[in-house]
C-alpha cells in the first residue's frame, strides 16, 4: 500500500459524493486495520507514510511507529525527521542507518552521522551486516548498546529543537 491514490473515481459512487472518496477509503482502511489488530493484538505493524500520505493520527492509533519516508539519506533525514516531529513524538517515527552511498541520492554520509540521526528516532538498521568492516561492526555493537541505555529517554523524554536543519546543515 505504499502508493498514493490516483484517479479517485468509481462507477459505484453516487453522483455528488465523489469528493468523499478519499475519506471513505480511509474509513474502510481503518476498518480493515481494526479487524487485523483486534484479532492479533500483540502484532507490531509499522505504518509506512509514503512521503507523509499516511502519517496521521488515525494510523498512529493502530500502528505505534511510522516509517516517515523512503528517503534514507542522512542529510535529507534531518529535515524529514525535524518536520515530522512537529506533529509526532520522535519515537513514533522510525529511522534507519542505511547504506552509503545512499540509494536515493548517492550521497556519502559518514557512518557516525547516520548512527546519530537514526538514534533520534525508533532506531533500526537496513544494511547488509556481512559487508561491515571490522570497525563498522564494532561501531554498530557499541551504538546498539548505547541506544538501549538512551531508549527510555528517547521514548519517554521531552523533545526540544535546538537547531533547525532548514537554517543550516545541522540539527539538534
Predicted local distance difference test score (pLDDT) of residue 44: 93
Q: Is 134 considered catalytic here?
A: no
Q: Domain segments of the chain: what residues?
A: 1-43, 45-156
Over residues 84-142, the pLDDT tens digits come to: 899 899 999 999 999 989 988 999 999 899 999 899 999 999 889 899 899 989 999 99
Predicted local confidence at residue 26, as pLDDT? 83
Single pTM value for the model: 0.79
Residue 53: pLDDT over 60: yes
Neighbours of 73 (CB within 10 A): 21
**7 tagged catalytic:** no
- Identify the active-site residue in 136, 137, 146, 156: 136
The catalytic position among 34, 42, 46, 56 is 56
User: Strand, helix or coil at 156?
Assistant: helix
β-pairing, 65-67 with 122-126? unpaired
**What digits encode the pLDDT tens for the residues 61-85?**
999 998 888 888 988 988 998 998 9
Amino acid at each position: 500500500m505504499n502508493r498514493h491514490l490516483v484517479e479517485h473515481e468509481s462507477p459505484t459512487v453516487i453522483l455528488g459524493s465523489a469528493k468523499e472518496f478519499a475519506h471513505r477509503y480511509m474509513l474502510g482502511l481503518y476498518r480493515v486495520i481494526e479487524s487485523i489488530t483486534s484479532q492479533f493484538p500483540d502484532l507490531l505493524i509499522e505504518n509506512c507514510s509514503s512521503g507523509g500520505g499516511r502519517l496521521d493520527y488515525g494510523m498512529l492509533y493502530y500502528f505505534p511507529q511510522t516509517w516517515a519516508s523512503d528517503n534514507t539519506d542522512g542529510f535529507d533525514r534531518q529535515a524529514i525527521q525535524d518536520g515530522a516531529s512537529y506533529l509526532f513524538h520522535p519515537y513514533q517515527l522510525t529511522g534507519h542507518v542505511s547504506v552509503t552511498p545512499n540509494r536515493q541520492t548517492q550521497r556519502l554520509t559518514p557512518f557516525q552521522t547516520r548512527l546519530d540521526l537514526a538514534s533520534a528516532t525508533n532506531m533500526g538498521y537496513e544494511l547488509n551486516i556481512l559487508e561491515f568492516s571490522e570497525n563498522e561492526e564494532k561501531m554498530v555493537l557499541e551504538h546498539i548498546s548505547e541506544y538501549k541505555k538512551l531508549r527510555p529517554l528517547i521514548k519517554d523524554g521531552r523533545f526540544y529543537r535546538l537547531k533547525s536543519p532548514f537554517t543550516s546543515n545541522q540539527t539538534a
